Structure 1
Amino acid sequence: MITIKHNFIIKICLLQVILYFSNFSFGQDIEPRRWNPLPLKTNILAVGYANTAGEILFDPLLQAEDVTVNVNAVIASYIRPFKIGSKAARFDVVIPYVNATWKGLLNGDPARVRRDGFSDPRLRLSVNLTGAPAGAGKELQEYFAANPVNTTLGVSLAVTVPLGQYFEEKLINLGQNQFVFRPQVGFVHNWRKWSYELTGSVFLFSENPNFSNGQDKRLDPVFAVQTHLIKTFKPKYWASVSLAYGLGGQSVVNRQPNNDDRGDVQYGVAFGFPLLKKQGVKFFYIHSETVKDIGSNLNVLGIGWSVLF
C-alpha cells in the first residue's frame, strides 16, 4: 500500500509533465498543485507522453490555409525540494523531445513540414512564502493533519533556455532561439480533500536576432492566469479540473509590429492513481481554443509516470 508521503509526492510530480504538452497552443501551461510543498531529501523523476493535434490559424497575408499540426512529445522532468531558511522551495528541470508535423495549403499548393528533435528545456526555482514550513515527510504529514484547512502563497521564476532545435532559415522550429522569463505568483487553499488554486504569470521574451534569415524578432509580454479545483479520493485517487487564459505576445519583426497578439482559453481534466509503493500514473486531457483570428485550436491527450527515490 502506498504511503501518504509517497502518494503526495507522486501527485505533484506527475502534474509537472503537462507543461510542455500545452506549449504548442500558447506557451501557457496547466499545472495544478504547483505550490504544494514536497518533503525534503527526496528526488522525483517523471516521464510523460502526449499527442497534440488540431488546427493552426495563420495571418491571411501569409496565404497558409487549412493548416493542421500533429505533435508527439516525450517529456522528462526532475524535481528537487529544499529549503530557504524555514521556507519550502524546489528546483525543477524539464527536457522535452518532440516529433511534430504541420500540413496545409501554402499559396494554394499542398505543403508539409516535419521537425524531430529537442525543444527548449526549462528551469524553475520557486519558494512558498506562507503555508507549511519546509520539513521531512513526517513533519509535513503532522502539519496537514493539524491544519486540514490551510493556505499557501508562493512565488517562482522559470527560465526557458534556447537550446532546442532551431534553423535560422526556417519559419517553423521546435526551439524559440530566445530566452523566456516567467515570474509567477500562486495561491492555493486546501480544505481537507479539496484544493483550489489560482496562479498569475507574466512571460517576458528576449530578442531573437536570427529569425528567418537574419531578421530581428521580439515578442511583447504575455499575461496569463490559471485556476484549478482538485479532489482527493480514497484510497489515494485524485482528479482535477482546470481553466486557463492568456493574452498578449504580439510579434515585432525588424521593429515593425505585426498586430498578431494572441488570446487563448484552455481547460483540462486529469486523473491519477498510485502504482506500486513509490510510483504513480496519471491520465490527462487539455483543450485549447483561440479567441482571436490568429492562433490554434488543439486537443492534448497524454499519460505521465512518476517515481520517488
Structure 2
Amino acid sequence: MKVIAVILWMFLLVGPHAGAQDLEPRRWTPLPLKNNFIGAGYVYTNGKIFFDPILDVKDATIDVNTFVADYVRPFKLGNKLARFDLRVPYTIARWEGQLADSPTSITRRGFSDPRLRLSVNILGPQAMDLKELQEYMSTHAVYTVVGVSVAVTLPLGQYYSDKLLNLGQNRFVFRPQAGFVHNWRQWSYELTGSLYLFTNNNDFFNGGTRKQDPIFAMQTHLIRRFKRGLWGSLSLGSGLLGESLVNRQPHNDKREDLLGAFSFGFPLLKRQAVKLVYMRSETLNDIGGDTNSFGVVWSASF
C-alpha cells in the first residue's frame, strides 16, 4: 500500500488556511480511481492587522481558530484524471484594537464560506486504479504532471450586512488555477498560478455595494520524501490583491502579501496520516496583516 501512503502525504499538504490565499503543495499529484479521501484539520492564526488609516484603528490584532472538513473524490474524465474537492470551514475569530483611542474587541463564531473545486491533469499519468498507479510509480522515478482547475467559493458563510467584520464574504469567488509538479526520485518541485475573480457584494455594510479587482497569486514548493513515509516541504507564495470599491469609490486597500510555510508529515495507521504545518504571512504594504499560523491535519482514505 505504498502508493496509498504517498497519496495521503499529498492530501495532508492540502491543509486549511484562514486567509484568502493558501499554500498547497503537490496539488497535481495523481490519485487512484475508486478511492475517497477525507480530512479534518485545525489551524490557529494570530498576528497584527493594519487597517486603512482613515478608519482610525490602531494596534489591531487577530486570533483565529479554524476547523476544516475536506472531501476529495478522483474520477475519470475521458482518459484524463480528474478530482472533485469539497471544503467546509468553521471559524472562531476575535479582533482587538484601539478604535478612536478606545479599546474594542469583536468575536465571531460560525461557518465560513465553503469551497468546491474541479481539477484535471492534462499531462502526466492517465486515470488509473490503485494497482496500475503502483506499477506506474515503480517504473517512473521521474515524471511531470500539468494540471488546471477551477474553484468556486460559495456565499454561504455567516454574514451580517450591518457589520464590517464577517466570517463570510457574501459574494462568489471564482479561482481558475494552473500549475505543474515535477517529480524526480525523492524530490518534487511545484509551481502554481491562480487568479481570484469576485462578484459584487450588493449587501455590503449599511446597504452599500462592494466591488473588487482580481487577485493574482503564485506559489512554489520543494518537497523531500524520506524513509518510512516521512516527508518535509518548504513553500513560498505571493499575491497582488486587487483594490476594492465601495459605492463606486476606491477604497485604497491594494495589498501585496508574501507567504512562507514549512510542513512535516508522518503515517499514523495503514490508511491514515498526520501533517503539522507552520505558515508565516507578511504584508508588503501599509494595509494587510503579519500573521503566524500553526496547524495539524488528519486524513484517511477508503
The normalised TM-score by structure 2 is: 0.99
3-state SS of the aligned residue for 1:73?
strand
Q: Which residue of 1 aligns with 2:296?
A: 303
Q: Which residue of 1 aligns with 2:127?
A: 134
Q: 1:4 aligns with which of 2, 5, 18?
A: 2
Alpha-carbon shift at residue 259 of structure 1 (Å) = 2.1
Q: Is the 8 A contact 2:164 2:205 kept in 1?
A: yes
CA distance in 1, matches of 2:14, 2:182: 19
* 2:261 corresponds to 1:268: yes
Q: Is the 8 A contact 1:22 1:30 kept in 2?
A: no
CA distance in 2, matches of 1:153, 1:169: 44
Q: 1:243 aligns with which of 228, 236, 248?
A: 236
CA distance in 2, matches of 1:76, 1:206: 25
Q: Is the 8 A contact 2:18 2:43 kept in 1?
A: no
Q: Is the 8 A contact 1:196 1:228 kept in 2?
A: yes
Amino acid at match of 1:212: F
Amino acid at match of 1:303: V
Q: 2:57 aligns with which of 41, 64, 69?
A: 64
Q: Deviations over 1:187-235 (max 9, x none)?
A: 1100011000000000000000010011000110000000000000001
CA distance in 2, matches of 1:71, 1:254: 29
The normalised TM-score by structure 1 is: 0.96
* 2:166 corresponds to 1:168: no
TM superposition outliers: structure 1 runs of 4+ over 4 Å:
none
Alpha-carbon shift at residue 114 of structure 1 (Å) = 0.3
Q: 2:42 aligns with which of 43, 46, 49?
A: 49
Q: Which residue of 2 aligns with 1:177?
A: 170
Q: Is the 8 A contact 1:198 1:226 kept in 2?
A: yes
Structure 1: give runs of 5+ residues left out of the alignment: none
Amino acid at match of 1:136: D
Q: 2:213 aligns with which of 214, 217, 220?
A: 220
3-state SS of the aligned residue for 1:178?
coil
Q: Percent identity?
A: 55
Q: Which residue of 1 aligns with 2:86?
A: 93
CA distance in 1, matches of 2:223, 2:144: 14
3-state SS of the aligned residue for 1:123?
strand
CA distance in 2, matches of 1:281, 1:124: 23
Amino acid at match of 1:113: I
Q: Which residue of 2 aligns with 1:204?
A: 197
Q: Which residue of 2 aligns with 1:186?
A: 179
Structure 2: give runs of 5+ residues left out of the alignment: none
Q: What is the RMSD computed on CA atoms of the aligned residues? A: 0.8
Q: Which residue of 2 aligns with 1:74?
A: 67
Q: Is the 8 A contact 2:75 2:83 kept in 1?
A: yes
3-state SS of the aligned residue for 2:259?
strand
Q: Is the 8 A contact 1:7 1:274 kept in 2?
A: yes
3-state SS of the aligned residue for 2:228?
coil
